Structure 1
């Protein structure tokens, strides 16, 4: 009896801890994966810690209908460092540097812990941007243009409308205590660039 109790208790602890960070799927039911494969052409692959995202099979298990815009409150390098840290508990799919360089850290198939809201994490792709919300000079033309091309590609892949209902800031996520991308993020300019980039992407099929 004592041995049985310990086994059950141990199993319960294991299940609680593992289910908090893993998404179980039936064998053979998820899409083929290739290590380091990119969703955005031209991005650099640098993997986030597996503790900062959840394995999934989007858009089959969760519809992707949002893009969430973040600002790091720090440098590109610091963003990559913390997203690789298993103790951080959060990461975005992409990080955009001031010069327009893009890193992909999590596949779009998977659920990144970026928005602080489970529903929004499951339905969105998160894009971080190097810089600080109170420094408008951090939002360079190269950053806007590269990020807009990235968002346009995401919108094309999942049929997401290019508007402020579907492309939102972290500050707009229900329940958040974050303020990014802040008052200096130029939404009008950004959406114009996204629409221009989206028009250049051939229709699927």
Structure 2
């Protein structure tokens, strides 16, 4: 997770001005059907996801892929629990967000930012504009968090994103946060099984 201020140049910034949390009615982690997390819940782009919106102060409103092409999926590890990660994305002071968050225990997926918008996750504005970011609950040095359910649900999500945007399902286009130029992050770390993950994406 990138807590540094990951903001675009002011001339390219298009932020919603309302600073209120958009997900006051959503219960973090609740297994609710997509689109029924509460009256303030937004729609979802991936039908299996639950809407758990990030603060509108933590991402850039856009109209992708018209405004920017979507070329990458970037894999992250939270270094936080699922619940704490949700709180961070909903805190307007944190200046960080993600498109999707995958829970360790059961692979439950929260959508925090709509795919058309630019989430602030990569630590690199160019990569932010051209990617979908997926956070995974856990720590880079604790492989027990990378459960079968997490791999299965995340791989199905990534396969859907790649299919919808024409992204090749390979390691050149499905990358780790560590591979984003200009950042000092190490996630998803040495215990993330890339061979297994890419194979699962291609057979999802």
Q: Give the TM-score, by structure 2 length.
A: 0.81
Gaps of 5+ in 2: 1-8, 17-39
- Alignment match, 1:11: none
1:158 aligns with 2:150: no
Tell me which residue corresponds to 2:48: 42
Contact 1:65–1:160 (8 Å) recurs in 2: yes
Residues 1:194 and 2:201 are matched in the alignment: yes
RMSD (Å) for aligned C-alpha atoms: 1.8
Separation in 2 of the partners of 1:18 and 1:188? 39
Aligned with 2:96: secondary structure?
coil
Alignment of 1:1-205 (within 5 A): 21-22=13-14, 36-98=42-104, 99-197=106-204
Gaps of 5+ in 1: 1-16, 25-33, 198-205
Q: Please state whether the residue corresponding to 1:39 is helix, strand or coil.
A: coil
TM-score (norm 1): 0.80
Q: Report the number of matched residues.
A: 172
Change (3 A) 1:38 1:143: same
State which structure, 1 or 2, has the greater radius of gyration over its C-alpha atoms. Answer: 1
Q: Shift in Å at residue 71 of structure 1?
A: 0.1
Answer yes or no: is the 8 Å Cα contact 2:79–2:139 preserved in 1.
yes
Higher helix share: 1
1:22: Cα distance to partner?
2.0
Change (3 A) 1:21 1:85: farther
- Structure 2: how far apart are the matches of 1:112 and 1:147? 18
